[in-house]
Structure 1
Amino acid sequence: MPADKVQEYADGLCYTDLMAGYYLGAPEEVMQAIADYSAWFFVWDDHHDRYIVHGRAGDWRRLRYRLHAALDAPRHHLHHPDPLVAGFADSVLRLFRFLSRTWNQRFARHFHAVIEAYDREFRNRTEGYIPGVEEYLALRRLTFAHWIWTDLLEPTAGCELPDPVRKTPAYRRAALLSQEFAAWYNDLCSLPKEIAGDEVHNLGISLITHEGLTLEDAVDEVRRRVEKCVTEFLAAERDALRFADDLADGTVRGKELSAAVRACVANMRNWFSSAYWFHHESGRYRVDTWDDRSTPPYVTNEAAGES
């Protein structure tokens, strides 16, 4: 985005507001790092889209490798000539300050998988390949970065959760549903833009292509799945809170883990309201006001080095 576009559109995109509504209770330094990382993620997503639209496979391949390298050694990439790589390194390094080395390694492992999922999406869109519904849903959990946003609940709560706690079905189920809601609601709100842009990565598009649904029926089915996430989360939330109660075994550590799980589950709930609000307030999805429904007005080819 050139400077005039930043001034005109940046605040209206509400990227940092989305995070502020999700990670409630985070210390200011944590909240700022998460918000900046979120803004970077949206910029990266737009670069990825432009590289696909303009057939810039070489540029995408170089960015993919550089992001992997910056994730493994962020300190060595703080002054990289590509500001997207330098910004990523800065964000990662700041996030790595809050918890332990094991949390950092887990975050890096999860984001390496996100980068590779973006590469699969690049190839799918370049080849015009529309994945089937189940294939798409599995890939969407990575392109939406489900486990990254879930990982960030822990520095917000000020406590790293050990694997036996984090991987308990009661906790993991609630976390998954909060992210599935957001990803599928995003698909619902993005569908007009993505149909206009001949895209292939959207739950609605997979339903139309592989299940034979009409556009109207596909919209209804995505809505049904979104609503089901809400009702199923309410049950999963109760299970997760009972699990939190069970952790409070009379020890100091048990009390700490119980409080942390409760804080994380509360913010899983906040993801529903924050994601819903964001999709109706952010200028990113107001396609009916755009001259070209496939391209946001704040994205310019010139800013991305294109002609």
Structure 2
Amino acid sequence: MIESAFPRRLHPYWPRLQEKTRVWLLEKRLMPADKVQEYADGLCYTDLMAGYYLGAPDEVLQAIADYSAWFFVWDDRHDRYVVHGRAGDWRRLRHRLHAALDAPRHHLHHPDPLLAAFADSVLRLYGFLPRTWNQRFARHFHAVIEAYDREFRNRVQGYVPGVEEYLALRRHTFAHWIWTDLLEPSAGYELPAFVRKNPAYRRAALLSQEFAAWYNDLCSLPKEIAGDEVHNLGISLILHEGLTLEESVDEVRRRVEECISEFLQVEQDALRFADSLADGTLRGKELSAAVHACVGNMRNWFSAVYWFHHESGRYMVDTWDDRSTPPYVTNEAAGE
């Protein structure tokens, strides 16, 4: 369904992107050198972003790719803190992330590499569009941090959220609106509120992200069952809807396929909306082109996510020595 309707494309900067993000991971000490050497390319983090933000200037794509790589490392740190019951470490990290998001320049030399790298990537992202975009990005990421805190508490307590509760939380832990915000610097244009709130544009954006989150749940279910996770649509369906494992997989797949089908319909409405913005003025022409670029990249997200999950070592649980511990993480979780 994906391979036929969403042809795979990669930003021409991709080979250089992969190389420079690998160097950035080393320079920022986000992963040990041996882990970077052995696993960084195979994790395909840069492939994911290079397949999404097509048309982005090279420096914008580089900043996004580095931020994305940081996000995965942060997610792994969060997971190790849960596994080792390090509530105090998580609480401190949570507060420091909030502070770094509001004042990244003051955290560039923080002793915790995760904080320093976050400050570096955020500061670079803040340089592309006006302050109003930066404030919106920060607001959305503050919500992501708080969602991760909720997830931390749920996992420590062994609490599996119900399906609707989980879906609402997932929109933040998957950072739906962050990846959607980043469509704008890729297009070189801050979209006005009336565009972002247009029903067709907003629905297309949401569907592209819901597809990604649910497809991730489908592909990571073995990994998360092995790691005693409680946050997965399949797990919520098993516990709260009484489905078997096989039935829950079928239901998640059905939801994924519905996302794809509905997006293909809404995409046309969003593109017609983009056309309508070209009102004969220069501003209208530029706005219309920016919206076309953003909607086009929403489409690219489907193939990028699909191939990422089938190529990244992040989901190849059967090749790990310990199915509950990814080989690319430092199990002790640094950051004292």
User: Shared fold by TM > 0.5?
Assistant: yes
* Alignment partner, residue 228 of structure 2: 198
Equivalent of residue 294 in structure 1, options 316, 321, 324: 324
Residue among 227, 242, 251 paired with 1:212: 242
The answer to whether the 8 Å contact 1:124/1:130 transfers is yes
Matches for 1:1-307 after TM superposition, within 5 Å? 1-302=31-332, 304=334
CA–CA separation in structure 2 for the residues paired with 1:198 and 1:81: 31
Mapped partners of 2:332, 2:239: distance in 1: 34
| 3-state SS of 1:304 partner | coil
In the superposition, the TM-score normalised over structure 2's length comes to 0.90
Q: Give 1:292 deviation, angstroms.
A: 1.5
Alpha-carbon distance in 2 for matches of 1:262, 1:3: 41
TM-score by length of 1: 0.98
Distance in 1 separating the partners of 2:40 and 2:332: 18
2:3 matched residue in structure 1 = none
How many residue pairs match? The answer is 306
Q: Secondary structure, in 3 states, of the residue corresponding to 2:85?
A: coil
Question: Could you tell me how far apart the structure 2 residues matched to 1:152 and 1:231 are?
Answer: 24
Task: Tell me the distance in 1 between the aligned counterparts of 2:101 and 2:281.
Answer: 37
Give distance in 1, aligned partners of 2:113 and 2:105.
Answer: 14
Give the drift of 1:305: 6.4
> Which residue type is aligned with residue 271 of structure 1?
W
Q: Distance in 2 between matches of 1:15 and 1:47?
A: 16
Q: Which runs of 5+ in 2 are unaligned?
A: 1-30
Instruction: Note the C-alpha offset of 1:300.
Output: 2.4
Q: Is the 8 A contact 1:2 1:303 kept in 2?
A: no
Q: Which amino acid aligns with 1:105?
A: Q
Given that 1:70 and 1:77 are in contact with CA atoms closer than 8 Å, whether structure 2 keeps it comes out as yes
How far 1:299 moved relative to its partner?
A: 1.5
User: CA separation in 1, counterparts of 2:253 and 2:178?
Assistant: 25
Aligned-partner Cα distance in 1 for 2:292–2:99: 35
1:2 Cα deviation from its structure 2 partner: 2.4
Instruction: Spell out structure 1 runs of 4+ moving beyond 6 A.
Output: none
Deviation at 1:282, TM superposition (A): 0.4
Partner of 2:243, secondary structure, is: coil
